[in-house]
Homo-oligomer: A and B are copies of this chain.
């Protein structure tokens, strides 16, 4: 038994080592592909995905059947499903990436030094990127497309419940690379579902340049804990909507409602509503009435409960909680200052919004709220690579280093300095 385990572990390790080594070699080639070639590959993938939708849906059916058998929740089954329109959505995502400017080779800055040295800061790919994700098969195409366009080799590791769908999508991607004469090891997928593979992957320090986990907090924490490779991540989205004294009430009501209910299970949905005391009595009754009609459970502070009767009281750990559900914590605050401090203390640095017509309040809020995305008079649901115009997103980062907020092509690059001289020597 001990021997068997050892043998299995070695095999997984060798498997991962081989994939990473092939990716490293391919990364040098992918980094130097010209834009026309990368875009042609992206468009070919898009075209073939749509043409192959019958095949993709057949393979997806296998995952769905297995998922039903293993009693996945209906939410998980929904995420797993590849409909015709979702396949078209993947293809459209790849087309959009193809249409974006190539970030590689972009001159970020350039200057001359008194001694005549000319310094240029040039965008270059990161190298080899590992993407670890859960049940949505469309991540396979999104992630592969973004990594390719940004000149990186990628290693994809999806959830085991989506393995047939992911392998089918990858097969189309791989054949598109090969048919255009691009090294197919530039986009590889892990075809094993055992967890030791992930462990070996995140130990490849120096060979894998970054790991991007996409999924729930549990997955992300587990990977960050194990990983020797830098991880680009967000743990959670505890987003606030603050309705300022200077808010237009109808706008505040619709932004609150949209931020909470438009899709409650995602990281950019609002989890907490803060309301300035000056307008609480005028705002809260109708806003809460609308939320309740949509099935939202309100967990309220004592002051809110005085204004709207019959609400459940918020417990201490409801502040700062990521419900990912039709639940909203509601609190009356005495000032803009209190709202900002509350958000900086209880938020997760993801997305927070103010609704106000006051320029001063807007400036103060955007300057002092320390989150990746700070909104004025718009729904928190817009923190998203598509909505920001990045074509697609590889994820959202609440880290402070490298990339913050929605991460698109630029977040998948680094830079180098190219320095030109004519014989300069250090004195």
What is the interface of chain A, defined by CB distance below 8 A to chain B? 28, 31-32, 111, 113, 117, 119, 124, 126-127, 209-210, 230, 232, 248, 251, 254-255, 258, 262-263, 344, 362, 366-368, 370-379, 381-383, 387-389, 399-402, 404-406, 414-426
Least CB separation from A387: chain B residue: B113
What chain B residues lie within 8 Å of A414 (beta carbons)? 400-401, 404
Number of this chain's copies in the assembly equals 2
Contact of A423 among B262, B362, B377 (CB under 8 A): B377
**In contact, B262 and A374 (Cβ under 8 angstroms):** no
Known: A255-B423, A426-B262. A126 touches B400 (CB 8 A): yes
Name the residue in A28, A119, A210, A263 with the highest tally of chain B Cβ atoms < 10 Å from its Cβ.
A119
Least distance between A40 CB and chain B CB atoms (Å):
21
Residue of B nearest to A31 (CB): B370
Known: A373-B419, A423-B377. A389 touches B344 (CB 8 A): no
Question: In the complex, which of the residues B248, B375, B381, B421 contacts A376, with contact meaning CB atoms closer than 8 Å?
Answer: B421
CB within 8 Å for A371 and B416 given contacts A126-B401, A378-B117, A426-B382:
yes
Q: Which residue of B lies closest to A374 (CB)?
A: B418
**Closest-CB distance, A148 to chain B (whole angstroms):** 18
Scoring A113, A119, A400, A415 by chain B CB atoms within 10 A of each residue's CB, the highest score goes to A400
Contact status A28-B344, CB under 8 Å: yes
User: Which residue, A344, A371, A416, has most C-beta atoms of chain B within 10 A?
Assistant: A416
Instruction: Establish whether residues A210 and B421, one from each chain, have CB atoms under 8 Å apart when the complex forms.
Output: no
B-side contacts of A124, CB under 8 Å: 370
Would you mind naming 26 contact pairs between A and B with Cβ atoms under 8 Å apart? A31-B370, A117-B382, A126-B401, A209-B400, A248-B423, A255-B425, A263-B426, A372-B417, A373-B416, A374-B416, A376-B419, A376-B421, A377-B420, A377-B421, A377-B423, A377-B424, A378-B420, A379-B424, A379-B425, A381-B426, A382-B426, A388-B417, A400-B414, A404-B415, A405-B415, A405-B417
**A342 to B: closest C-beta gap in Å:** 14
Nearest Cβ distance between residue A301 and chain B, in whole angstroms?
24
Distance of A52 Cα from B374 Cα, bound (Å): 45
Q: Which residues of B contact A419 (CB under 8 A)?
A: 373-376, 378, 382
Whether A400 contacts B255 in the complex (CB less than 8 A), given A28-B344, A367-B32, A425-B379, comes out as no
